[in-house]
Amino acid sequence: MPGLQLRGVSKAFKGTQVLDAVDLDIAPREFIAFLGPSGSGKTTLLRIIAGLETADAGEVILDERRIDTLGPGERDVAMVFQSYALYPHMSVRENMAFGLRNASVPQAEIASLIEDAARVLEIEALLDRKPAQLSGGQRQRVAIGRAIVKKPSLFLLDEPLSNLDAALRLRTRVELAQLRNRVDAAVIMVTHDQAEAMTLADRIVVFNDRRIQQVAAPMEIYLRPANRFVAQFVGSPAMTVLPVQLADGGDKSAVLLGDGSRVETGVPRSLLPHGGALELGLRPEHVRIAATGVPAEVVLVERLGDRSLVYAKLADGSAITGEDGGTSSLKSGDRIALTIDGGSAHLFGADGTGFHRAEA
Ligand SMILES: Nc1ncnc2c1ncn2[C@@H]1O[C@H](COP(=O)(O)OP(=O)(O)OP(=O)(O)O)[C@@H](O)[C@H]1O
């Protein structure tokens, strides 16, 4: 099978397990984002794939070749570091040529590979400059250029945009999206930035607690989170999660909030486990301020221009986040009523497993 396969990859540092039997399959030319909280092992897994770190157990297979037993230079993989890691005393051209010279690529071929990469990245005018004479964004392109000239079948990008300011970050994100159409390789990008992962990736891999929590297309992760962790980690502000009781009803699950208010969800009742605790998950856009509904008290209003986020508390003190219009006149302490769009709500079982409405 072409592409990348990870089989049972585990790693501990000084007795602390960081990755526990991780399996993952990535297709050729797929763009994958690794997303997860700090310390969840994303960079460690990237470094294991690159050969900069050795796994305690497991296999890494790239294009039908086991690569975890090979040195970093023999893996057909190129890594772009967060710090760019350019050689300061070398020109851009020399930085890009360095790895190729070490691999004994003929001089004429090196020159043509560099010309091609420079054209793709629009850094032709910078080839004779030193890294110190470049802006952050330009350095970042050179670091990518140095990876591109190797024509790897897999690019590994460790938070490639994190050192750029907000405007440049957005622009470079667009460029990365265009670039991926021009390189014949798969890409794995570690990022902290959900928006980056959502825009660029074909599939997102969410890490937490030593394991992969979910691997799915961005909207699938958002609309059908596998568990409570993914549901609350992805999406900003975080999904509200409330303890509820299952109510009597038909094929769809109806639940009762702490104050007895009933919410009809779209989750087929047949999916739910029998008995055990249940929680209701609501995105802010599914909780609206209305004339009647579940009583609540405003804690804080965050005005975003086109809409306002309303942080409120219910009668039993639980926190809930909803939305109001951009011109909302609400203020903290106001007594309000909330309508809950239960049709789009999620339910979570006692072990955190997510249950969602039937697909349309
Ligand atoms: N060389 C090392 N020696 C000891 N502990 C390490 C080493 N490298 C990583 N760790 C630990 O392993 C855990 C996972 O680190 P890793 O850098 O993979 O996480 P991450 O998900 O990439 O985090 P971040 O998003 O902050 O970069 C952390 O607790 C880290 O402190």
Q: Which atom of ligand 1 is nearest to the CA of 192?
A: 25
Which residue has the CA at smallest separation from atom 31 of ligand 1? 39
Exposed / middle / buried, residue 54 (Cβ in 10 Å: 0-12, 13-18, 19+): exposed
d(CA 280, CA 273): 14
The overall average pLDDT reported for the chain is 91
| Average pLDDT of the segment spanning 191-209 | 93
Amino acid 207 reads F
Q: Which of the listed residues 178, 200, 226 is the one where a domain comes to its end?
A: 226
Tell me: the pLDDT tens digits for 108-118? 899 988 988 88
ipTM, two decimals, is 0.96
Averaged pLDDT, 2-7: 96
CATH of the domain at 272: 2.40.50.140
- What SS3 class is residue 112? helix
Pair of tokens at residue 84: 């760019």
Beta bridge partners of 301: 310
Q: Is the CB of 36 under 6 A from ligand 1?
A: yes
With a 6 Å cutoff on the Cβ, whether 39 touches ligand 1 is: yes
Domain count, the chain: 2
Place of tokens 């804690």: 299
pLDDT reported for residue 192: 86
Residue 148 belongs to a domain: yes
Cα–Cα distances in Å, from 79 out to 24, 51, 72, 144, 194? Answer: 19, 10, 10, 9, 21
Amino acid at site 332:
S
Confidence of residue 254 (pLDDT cuts 50, 70, 90): very high
- Cβ atoms 120, 179 nearer than 8 A: yes
232 lies in some domain = no
- The Cα 117–Cα 111 span in angstroms is 10
pLDDT digits (tens, 9 = 90+) for 334-354: 999 999 999 999 999 999 999
| Structure token digits, residue 279 | 């929680």
Residue nearest to atom 2 of ligand 1 (CA): 13
Query: Which residue's CA is the closest to the ligand 1 atom numbered 5?
Result: 13
Q: 79: CA distance to ligand 1 center in Å?
A: 17
Longest dimension (CA), the chain: 76
**Of residues 72 and 164, more confidently modeled:** 72
| Residues spanned by the domain of 57 | 4-226
The arithmetic mean of pLDDT across residues 189-203, rounded, is 91
Res 239 pLDDT > 70:
yes
The whole-number pLDDT of residue 220 equals 96
Q: Is the CB of 22 under 6 A from ligand 1?
A: no
What's the pLDDT score for residue 248? 85
Contact call for residues 58 and 200 (beta carbons, < 8 A): no
The pLDDT tens digits of the residues spanning 131-175 come to 988 888 888 888 888 888 888 899 999 987 777 777 777 777 877
How far, in Å, from the CA of 241 to the mean position of ligand 1?
29
Q: Looking at the CA of residue 19, tell me the nearest atom of ligand 1.
A: 14
For ligand 1, say whether the CB of 208 is within 6 Å of any of its atoms: no
Residue 360 has pLDDT above 70, yes or no: no
Q: How far is the CA of 44 from the centre of ligand 1 (A)?
A: 6
**Does residue 92 share a domain with residue 71?**
yes
Contact yes or no for 356/346 (Cβ under 8 A):
yes
b/e per residue 183-205 (b: at least 16 CB within 10 A): bebbbbbbbebbebbbebbbbbb
* Cα–Cα distance, 24 to 46 (Å, whole number): 12
Q: Which residue in 186, 172, 3, 156 sits closest to 81, CA to CA?
A: 156
Whether 40 is in the pocket of ligand 1, judged by its Cβ within 6 Å, is yes
Distances (CA, A) of 250 to 245, 266, 272, 330: 15, 11, 13, 37
Do the domain assignments include residue 93? yes
User: Do 125 and 250 reside in the same domain of the chain?
Assistant: no
Protein residue closest via CA to atom 3 of ligand 1: 13
Instruction: Please indicate, yes or no, whether residues 49 and 157 belong to a single structural domain of this protein.
Output: yes
What's the gap in Å between 45 CA and the centre of ligand 1?
10
| 360, part of any domain | no
Identify whether 269 is part of a domain.
yes
3-state secondary structure of 253: strand
Q: Give the rounded percent of residues in the chain with a pLDDT score beyond 90.
A: 66
Q: Are 100 and 107 in contact (CB under 8 A)?
A: no
pLDDT in tens, 288-331: 999 899 999 999 999 999 999 999 999 999 999 999 999 899 99
Measure 52 CA to ligand 1 centroid, in angstroms. Answer: 13
**Of the candidate ranges 51-65, 249-263, 277-291, the one whose mean pLDDT is the lowest:** 249-263
Mean local confidence (pLDDT), 118-132 = 88
Atom 17 (ligand 1): residue with closest C-alpha? 43
pLDDT at 104: 84
CATH for 195: 3.40.50.300
125 in a structural domain: yes
Expressed in angstroms and rounded, the spacing between residue 40 Cα and the centre of ligand 1 is 7
**CA-CA distance, 235 to 146, in Å (whole number)?**
34
